[in-house]
Structure 1
Amino acid sequence: MPLLSVDSLDFSVGHRALLNKVQLTVESGERIALIGRNGMGKSTFLKILAGQARADAGEVRLAPGSRIAYLQQDPPLDDRASVYQTIASPLGPIESLLTGYHHCINRVAAGDEAALTELARWQHEIDAVDGWSIAQRMDEILSRLELDPDASLADLSGGAKRRVLLGQALIQNPDVLLLDEPTNHLDIGRIEWLEALVREFRGAVIFITHDRSFLKRLATRILELDRGELTSWPGDYDNYLRRREERDHAESIQNAEFDKFLAEEEVWIRQGVKARRTRNEGRVRRLEALRAERAQRVAQQGNISLSLGQANVSGKIVFEGEHLTHRYGEQTILHDFSLKILRGDRIGLVGPNGVGKSTLIRLTLGQITPDQGRVRLGTQLNIAYFDQHRAELRPDWTALENLCEGGDRLMVRGHNTHGIGYLQQFLFTPDRARTKVEALSGGERNRLLLAKLFAEPANLLVLDEPTNDLDLETLEVLEQALLDLDGTLLVVSHDRAFLDQITTSLLVFEGEGRVREVIGGYEDWLALRDHASAPAPAPAPKLSVKPATNAAPPPPRASASSPRAELSFKEKHELARLPDDIARQEAVVEQLNAEVNRPDFYQRPTPETTALLARLTDESERLEQLIERWSILEARAEGSA
């Protein structure tokens, strides 16, 4: 017997059908990804499955004795409550017993002797309802989620609140787990932990996500919700993409043939008097049916249109920071960190939440100054900045007013344009364009920010978590627009697939002020991290070779393990840029070598010489990484030619 079954489910908003005679059966052990464009009704479908919304018609059946738990995207929370109270809240009467017992334990630990008598009463009441197994489960969840049970929700970050909501779902010990965008506000480490948890879950999981890495690693089946129809695709996400392309091609051919036949029938019905006198009434009725079918066909929602105007070319050096140190209170965000960003660099910033990624962005933009060190911004910079907190949007203004600064027209790359026409490129209907921001969905707010961002030409694009709430198709369009960018890109993101597509190097924040520079995308960083954690072979003698300025890269080294797959579009871009990157890096190493070889170098203060030698080591390692990366890509390019 299936864990969950859905029979002929209907749900409409106004005249628009979000669910049309939907059928579904879910078995234990399945991990099902629910995908579709923003606004197609995915979250509504999960709410109906969870019993938090009612369908217009149809039935949802849960296997007898089974439980269902639902992680919503942005549910209302009582900020006055503690973490412990919030997680225990779905437990009903036992919640007050566990919460009271927990508070009493804290009082005893603080030395309140009067609480000992009260503690015995709480223990007796929990015994009476056999609640100790649930109390133990609470402790396990709090430990695994690394949450302080006594913390107030008002003091938590977005990522911590997301973990609290996940704990709230898990405490119910469900058989069916519904997850709506579970990776939102989570850093990469937490996302990988969540992947392991979902993979080990023994019941059934249905999840909505924009994170393609999360989707590919977990989904055993794909459900696509499109124009009211729910289609099941067995297998993983890559198999779905292949079969969807075949389906869309067949659908376009079928629609074209239908429209051609309808047009021919319309010509026939409009013939002269003689034809109308002798026309076949059955053919007339068939034409009426064709018209009705054409009227009922719902056109697929279009793709967002993104193109970034090209600004003047910036200076060669976009940003240079030397020996940067910055702290917030007792926390060291950066420690003696040096960075040079050159025109054309595409850099991703990754690391846990709160470790300093946004701080480095603000230093780069000149919004703050470091506690120590020197910062120099480049020349002729036209900066476009995407704020993850959407602080640039006024909630009491409409989307149109936010775009046009209170009016209805704006300049788009030098042309005076009406805001509604421009917003239609970002899938806003005229009605939604006139809707206040506070009533827009998360995906719509993100698209509005992208509209503002892409209206002006820029040669330095700074994106702080741009992928939140975007559907998969919009993500792909955004990636292509960024690949076409002829400028410099800095992006903070926890979306691993997104980073792999658009970045050529990463700044990995490791905590306590340490930042490591890595050539390549996130998969390259994983390979480097795994290699570093593996047992090291015996070191071979190392020759000291001084690189020559503007020397040509060495020939590619053959490797039995080097993949021979054709280069992706992003890798071709990267390969074309690498010789220039190598030349620039060689110049940096050459300059540092010249400084170290000066006769008076070791007569300088020890901290200065130590810092310079350390930088020479780091820059030399970066040069080796660049050359290694060039060798791998060049070998793959030749192998697939």
Structure 2
Amino acid sequence: TIHKGERIGILGPNGAGKSTFMKVLLGRIQADGGELWRAEGIKFAYLDQQLPERDEQTLYDYIAGGLEGLGDLLRQYHQLTRDSNTDFSDQQVLDRMASLQKQIEQVDGWAVEHRIEAMLDVLKLPADAKMKTLSGGSRRRAALGRALIAEPDLLMLDEPTNHLDIPTIEWLENTLNEFRGAVLVITHDRQFLQSISNRIIELDRGRLRSWEYGYERFLVFREQQLEAEEKANQEFDKKLAEEERWIRQGIKARRTRNEGRVRALKQLREERKQRRELSGPARMSLEQAGSSGKIVVEAEDLNHRFGDQLILKNFSTKILRGDRVGLIGANGSGKTTLLRILLGEIKPDSGKVKLGTNLEILYFDQLRNQLDVNQNIIDYLAEGREFIDINGKQKHVISYLQDFLFPPKRVRQPIKSLSGGEQNRLILAKLFSKPANLVVLDEPTNDLDMETLELLEEILLDFSGTLLVVSHDRKFLDNVVTSSIVFEGPGVVKEYVGGYQDWLDQGGKMLSFLTDERKQKDSKPASSKAAPVQKTEQRTEQKTNQKIDRQKQKALDQVTRQIEKTEQEIKAVEDSMAEPGFYDQPQPKIQPTLDKMAALQEKLDGLFEQWQALEDE
């Protein structure tokens, strides 16, 4: 039973059925059995784990779509008033607007329109931008806005923190803690769950179990429960073994056996058969290479821009062997760019970067460009090998895959059929099979279940080499890094001792995507209901005065065309990489294609940032 005001976290390993359970509650999937009761008139809103499509919808239309009937009326009115081709001297147009205004006023729709505008403001999303032009982080924010605008009785969120930066996650935490309805959330972000949850539902081995407290207390009681369950299972198995010995006694004993005891034994066997064992966490290990030189990376007076955006200004750093460095910043601040500059993949506009000696680099890419989704699991990992060397010991490929929770029956499964978490585990399996003394991880925690996350932390803590990590997972950063490079504003990049919480304790404050919008919001006059039709010319004149000038529009159109062209180029390269045998070629033949993909992606990111800067002017 779910009650108003509850903020429930759904926990369970990857593949346990958490998303399926949520879709059953929504009615999108029919349960095989049992009963589902919903209160009459209850409103649901759902955030899918997958990002919304890149289509022709404007952001206003997409978010208003969360309001069903009223949303459709507002979309029509918004399209009429914002379309430069609308002829306001046409009586049919005026009649249509009058009809829409009347319908909207009857349901107090102008107050709702103000909510949509406020939501766009707080999420820093331009109303007339099209979904197809947005980055993953912006589309995730749009999806959150669509779910929240409905003010549902039950809000269901499937991995809401994916693609979000830390400021957005913290804003979402505050929003959910003030939300009056019930919240059901699936997440791998432990800090997020700890901040919002007041109840936990665990989906474990096919069974649901409810814990009437938040995540922190759940961990304590869950550990006690597992210990008690293990002890009970040991007692049960002891009794079963005794009964099995009795039934196997000699001929004379079998002739005189107690039939009631035989029936009891059959029941014990059935109970043992039905009892599901824990599948256990992944058993990952990292192949360590020999020591690198003392200086791993040295950067001096780095300056770099993307279009008009300043990323680095006179930035210098020296990373030594054994350092564990986290890169922290909002989406679009330049974390991945700095990472690639330090690795020598991108040349800065000015400044020097020097890589150390004897480096063996392991690089986990957040875009999963390393995966050929048309390959199967074992071919991707093995590369024709039967055995893999792990820290001086040979291990069969299938056995190694089992350590990463890929059972033998699944090793021929195509990669494209795997979940996001399983794809991440497979990349880690391949990377960890090769020796490294510099580990570079770009958003490694997305989609991983909590047990695998914790194991990854243990492996990194045992790793004696150098670590560079970009992550929005605050607890992960606190657990694995000893220093942080923080993007605090345009071109303002500083180093601090410790992880994310240590940075906050030292007075750190990240520029949030909310900051500018709140200032703008505070400076705006309060919205009023729409004027009647006779004032349409006045409203139109006001909107015309607010439109961007022709020069800016021309620049926007040019950037949009470049974005579309670059996306087409990326699609062509992706298709070539998906061709059978692409990864069978020698590395010198593959590398130019990979470099081209990286350059195109970098170009696309820069174009998105140019477009956003123009919209924000």
Q: TM-score range by the shorter chain?
A: 0.7 to 0.9
1:594 alignment counterpart: none
Distance in 2, matches of 1:463 and 1:122, equals 53
Shift of 1:431: 2.7
Q: Does 1:316 align with 2:294?
A: yes
Distance in 1, matches of 2:385 and 2:150, equals 50
Q: Is the 8 A contact 1:461 1:489 kept in 2?
A: yes
146 and 76 in structure 1: CA distance in 2 versus 1, 3 angstrom threshold: closer
1:65 alignment counterpart: 41
Distance in 1, matches of 2:510 and 2:455, equals 35
1:136 alignment counterpart: 114
Shift of 1:165: 1.1
Shift of 1:118: 2.6
Distance in 2, matches of 1:529 and 1:82, equals 39
381 and 531 in structure 1: CA distance in 2 versus 1, 3 angstrom threshold: closer
1:439 alignment counterpart: 417
Q: Is the 8 A contact 1:326 1:372 kept in 2?
A: yes
2:26 alignment counterpart: 50
1:198 alignment counterpart: 176
After superposition, the CA RMSD in angstroms is 2.1
1:125 alignment counterpart: 100
Match of 1:299 among 269, 277, 295: 277
Distance in 2, matches of 1:223 and 1:504, equals 34
1:496 alignment counterpart: 474
Number of residue pairs the alignment of both structures matches: 508
Distance in 2, matches of 1:467 and 1:480, equals 14
Q: Residue type matched to 2:97 in 1?
A: W
Match of 2:140 among 162, 173, 177: 162
Distance in 2, matches of 1:386 and 1:190, equals 24
Distance in 2, matches of 1:160 and 1:144, equals 12
SS of the residue corresponding to residue 420 of structure 1 reads helix
Identity %: 54
Alignment map for 1:127-276 (pairs within 5 Å): 127-129=102-104, 130=106, 131-276=109-254
Distance in 1, matches of 2:162 and 2:230, equals 35
2:359 alignment counterpart: 381
Shift of 1:440: 0.3
Q: Deviations over 1:302-352 (max 9, x none)?
A: 111122122111100000010011122222221111010001111000101
Shift of 1:87: 1.8
Shift of 1:476: 0.9
TM-score (norm 1): 0.76
Shift of 1:101: 1.8
Distance in 1, matches of 2:90 and 2:478, equals 56
Distance in 2, matches of 1:368 and 1:166, equals 34
Distance in 1, matches of 2:91 and 2:11, equals 53
Distance in 1, matches of 2:309 and 2:270, equals 66
Q: Does 1:107 align with 2:78?
A: no
Distance in 1, matches of 2:19 and 2:95, equals 45
Q: Does 1:469 align with 2:447?
A: yes
Greater helix percent: which structure? 2
Q: Is the 8 A contact 1:101 1:123 kept in 2?
A: no
Shift of 1:89: 2.5
Q: Deviations over 1:439-466 (max 9, x none)?
A: 1001101110110121112110000001
Distance in 2, matches of 1:234 and 1:95, equals 37
300 and 345 in structure 1: CA distance in 2 versus 1, 3 angstrom threshold: same
318 and 434 in structure 1: CA distance in 2 versus 1, 3 angstrom threshold: same
Distance in 2, matches of 1:374 and 1:346, equals 22
Q: Is the 8 A contact 1:104 1:115 kept in 2?
A: no
Q: Residue type matched to 1:446 in 2?
A: N
519 and 78 in structure 1: CA distance in 2 versus 1, 3 angstrom threshold: closer
Shift of 1:407: 5.9
Q: Is the 8 A contact 2:286 2:459 kept in 1?
A: yes
2:368 alignment counterpart: 390
Q: Deviations over 1:46-100 (max 9, x none)?
A: 1111121111122222222221111110165252322222222243444443222
Distance in 1, matches of 2:437 and 2:208, equals 43
Match of 1:512 among 475, 486, 490: 490
Distance in 1, matches of 2:400 and 2:162, equals 28
2:456 alignment counterpart: 478
Q: Does 1:83 align with 2:62?
A: no
Q: Does 1:449 align with 2:427?
A: yes
Distance in 2, matches of 1:169 and 1:499, equals 29
Q: Residue type matched to 2:123 in 1?
A: L
* Worse-superposed segment, 99-108 or 276-285: 99-108
1:8 alignment counterpart: none
Q: Which runs of no fewer than 5 residues in structure 2 stay unpaired?
A: 512-617
Q: Is the 8 A contact 1:48 1:55 kept in 2?
A: yes
Q: Residue type matched to 1:267 in 2?
A: R
196 and 320 in structure 1: CA distance in 2 versus 1, 3 angstrom threshold: same
Shift of 1:382: 0.7
Shift of 1:185: 0.5
* Worse-superposed segment, 312-321 or 111-120: 111-120
SS of the residue corresponding to residue 28 of structure 1 reads coil
Shift of 1:151: 1.4
SS of the residue corresponding to residue 286 of structure 2 reads coil
Q: Is the 8 A contact 1:107 1:115 kept in 2?
A: no
Distance in 1, matches of 2:497 and 2:239, equals 56
Distance in 2, matches of 1:114 and 1:396, equals 56
Alignment map for 1:606-621 (pairs within 5 Å): none
Match of 2:14 among 22, 32, 38: 38
413 and 80 in structure 1: CA distance in 2 versus 1, 3 angstrom threshold: farther
TM-score (norm 2): 0.79
Shift of 1:428: 0.8
Distance in 2, matches of 1:172 and 1:444, equals 33
Match of 1:401 among 379, 403, 408: 379
Distance in 2, matches of 1:367 and 1:128, equals 57
Q: Residue type matched to 2:118 in 1?
A: E
111 and 322 in structure 1: CA distance in 2 versus 1, 3 angstrom threshold: farther
Q: Is the 8 A contact 1:347 1:503 kept in 2?
A: yes
118 and 288 in structure 1: CA distance in 2 versus 1, 3 angstrom threshold: same
241 and 92 in structure 1: CA distance in 2 versus 1, 3 angstrom threshold: closer
Distance in 1, matches of 2:356 and 2:87, equals 61
Alignment map for 1:530-569 (pairs within 5 Å): none
SS of the residue corresponding to residue 494 of structure 1 reads coil
Q: Which runs of no fewer than 5 residues in structure 1 stay unpaired?
A: 1-24, 534-641
Q: Is the 8 A contact 1:101 1:119 kept in 2?
A: no
Shift of 1:528: 1.7
Shift of 1:298: 0.8
Q: Is the 8 A contact 1:401 1:408 kept in 2?
A: no
Shift of 1:532: 12
83 and 288 in structure 1: CA distance in 2 versus 1, 3 angstrom threshold: same
SS of the residue corresponding to residue 312 of structure 1 reads coil
Q: Deviations over 1:246-290 (max 9, x none)?
A: 111111111111111111111111111111111111111111111
1:15 alignment counterpart: none
115 and 82 in structure 1: CA distance in 2 versus 1, 3 angstrom threshold: farther
Match of 2:255 among 277, 300, 316: 277
Distance in 1, matches of 2:201 and 2:250, equals 50
Match of 1:327 among 305, 318, 324: 305
